[in-house]
A and B are shown apart, each in its own frame.
Chain A
Amino acid sequence: MENEVQRTVITPPGRLNVPAWREIWNAREVAVRLAQRDLIVRYRQTIFGVTWVIAQPLVSAGIFTIVFGEIAGLSTGKIPTFLFTLAGMLAWNLFNGSLGRASGSMVGNQSLVQKVFFPRLLVPLSSLASVVVDFVVALMLAVVLLFVFAINPGWAVLLLPVWVLLILMIGTGIGLAAAAYMVKYRDVGYVLPWLVQILLYASPVAYALSSVPSHLRWLFDINPVTWFLEAFRWSLLGTDLPPVWQILALCIAAPLIFLAGTLVFQKNEREFADFI
């Protein structure tokens, strides 16, 4: 046992509740174990197990290829439609997954939240683990396809981890704020998937920006999803470099969204057990 006795002072919550990073770091084991639980439980008692991780993006990319490429005939530039769509799905799933998992994590773990204390931020953060694992598996599949189609993205591929991090920040940032409000109002849980669905069709996941009519172009230009999709595909597929202002905007917006989400979450953190 440590000789130094840890001293804690509990007072009513203040207005601004900055995360206690040190406490979060000390309790990191909780996040590790929760993440481990999510991963183990997901594919236990399934026949195909991890195959599902590969099957899901493949099938959705296939459907999108048929709908947008074959039926609607939208162009994807010089990249094969399937690969183009798959890359889009990868980035989109990272965003959608982190958003969905983080936002539902508090309500999903309500028995924990009501009974024991640990920094609440660990719950949504740990829920990201399975999103990242999914992404990595699907990314490996995409890399194989790059070789199959003989596409060389060039040096831009080195920036891929940066885009991944920024996408996670956006998804988690919104997810954290949503998680905090879902504790009080379950409506968030119904509205959010619906909004995200709309956003999916409003974003160039399965079609190139070039096939967007010019009078609608501004709608796509202000959409942060467009920013990260373009940057992500530039790095993975070697498509055209997106405008510099978009990359800058992405680099500034993502950390801000994450920070704002964290603060919203922290502001409500200490009341969670009373409302959940």
Chain B
Amino acid sequence: MQEIREKAITVEGLGKTYRLGASGERPSTAAAAAIQWVRSTGRARYTLFDALDDISFEIPRGEAIGIVGRNGAGKSTLLKILTRVTAPTRGRIELNGRVGSLLEVGTGFHPELTGQENIYLNGAILGMTRKEIRKRYDEIVDFSGIEKFLATPVKRYSSGMYVRLAFAVAAHLDTEILVIDEVLAVGDAEFQRRSIAKMREAAQGGRTVLYVSHQLQTVQALCTSAMLLDRGTLTYSGTVEGTLQAYRDSFESFAAAQSDPKKRPGNGKVRLSSVRMEDEFVKSSQDIVVDFEAGKSSKLIGTYFVSMHINDDRGAVIAQCDSRLVGGWFDPTETQRGRLVIRDLWLKPGQYTVDVYVCQSGVLDAWEGAWRFEVLPDLPYPEFTESSGTEKGMIFVNFDYERA
């Protein structure tokens, strides 16, 4: 095509404001609403929360855009507005082309319906016409690889089969704009590879793809440009590399803010007072030792547990260490000093962060980015090779080759 690249999506001054009740929640019953209305005596008592504010951008056709940002940055809200699931409060969006969305695979699947019935139902819900579904039916079945079970109700499917069928329907959407929210994190490795290939094909075929993810790796693999959302505003847009750098930088300012317990999420019945490691540098194959201290509290009844996550610099959670799994429960009537020891986790060289969650039935304290450490670039193996010998894989493992 010789024409200048037209815009697929134009967004101007987009904002979405949620109204939160005085108690932090909107009344969900008429009685509560009536009480609130009487109490407010005509004055607005709700607080406003800007999930998105003054977002403007343009996306040319055929571009694959990654949208990154931490939890609560407004990524999902943006997608919901673009897919018209919810309405904006301010601003204007122009979409040139039909929008297909993959916000969650299997939306609208009914457990009692058979695979075949669900293909037609799901296809229609995702916006395909009957003709389109018929035309692509064989391809969908083929892609899912479950032709033997088409007459079986999906409630008898394994979760893998279910996801494969759901993704197969969604992947055959013929819309000009495709919006994807972290659906690639499903299925086995082989299926993931095929899914990514399908996404790439979509973008190359002149379609516009919006991809939202925590997994920066896939954004890197899939997208031609990216943007960063932070607390409802667009803070960076440009190349994928630049966005990822800005995302990493934002972690630092975030970590500084999080060290103040009052600014952290969680109900605050127990707050962590410190999280630290002996050193900011560790060697791969070394044990990872994290000490934490939580203040005592009279507001909590019963013991609580701690869950720590180790994340890499792309935001992927490498390990989750939940104290419940090893019988670790802590008593809130006393100040607790605890220590997490991770053995046999060989991290690759790079930056890592530690998130600490203190929970009981709900989250008491969530300290994301509580500690940051670097794994030094010396290899835990007896020999050295060129970099091609170590660049693949998320972590190092303790392995050997033996002669049989």
Contacts and interface: CB of A to CB of B under 8 A. Distances in A.
Interface of A: 1, 5-13, 27, 29-30, 32-34, 36-37, 40-41, 44-45, 111-118, 184-188, 270-271, 273-275
A112 B125 contact: yes
Interface string B349-360: 000000000000
B245 interface: no
Contact of B29 (A11, A36, A187): A187
A27 B82 CA distance: 18
Contacts of B88: 10-12
Nearest to A44: B112
Contact of A37 (B81, B87, B110, B128): B110
B73 interface: no
Interface stretch (B97-105, B292-300, B303-311, B392-400): B97-105
Contacts, number: 118
A37 B121 CA distance: 8
Given A7-B96, A41-B113, A112 B33 contact: no
Nearest to B89: A12
Interface of B: 18, 26, 28-31, 33, 80-99, 101, 103-104, 107-108, 110, 112-113, 117, 120-121, 124-130, 153, 174, 176
Contacts of A33: 120-121, 124-125
B28 A34 contact: no
Contact of B95 (A8, A41, A118): A8
B18 A40 contact: no
B162 to A, nearest CB: 15
B110 A186 contact: no
A32 B124 contact: yes
Given A9-B94, A10-B88, A41-B113, A116 B83 contact: yes
A37 B92 CA distance: 36
B124 A30 contact: yes
B94 A29 contact: no
Given A12-B87, A33-B120, A185-B30, A6 B97 contact: yes
Contacts of A113: 85
14 contacts: A5-B96, A9-B94, A10-B92, A10-B94, A11-B93, A30-B125, A33-B124, A34-B121, A40-B112, A41-B113, A114-B85, A117-B84, A186-B29, A273-B86
Contacts of A116: 83, 85, 101, 103, 107-108, 125-127
A37 B117 contact: yes
A8 B86 contact: no
A186 B32 CA distance: 12
Contacts of A186: 28-29
Which one of A29, A32, A40 has the greatest number of beta carbons of chain B within 10 Å? A29
A44 B107 CA distance: 21
A37 B117 CA distance: 8
Contacts of B26: 275
Given A186-B28, A187-B29, A10 B108 contact: no
Nearest to A31: B124
Contact of B30 (A7, A44, A187): A187
Given A11-B88, A12-B90, A116-B125, A185 B29 contact: yes
A1 B135 CA distance: 12
A185 to B, nearest CB: 5
Given A8-B84, A185-B33, A271-B86, 7 more contacts: A6-B96, A6-B98, A7-B95, A10-B92, A11-B88, A12-B87, A113-B85
Contact of B81 (A1, A10, A34): A10
A54 B113 CA distance: 24
Contacts of B82: 10
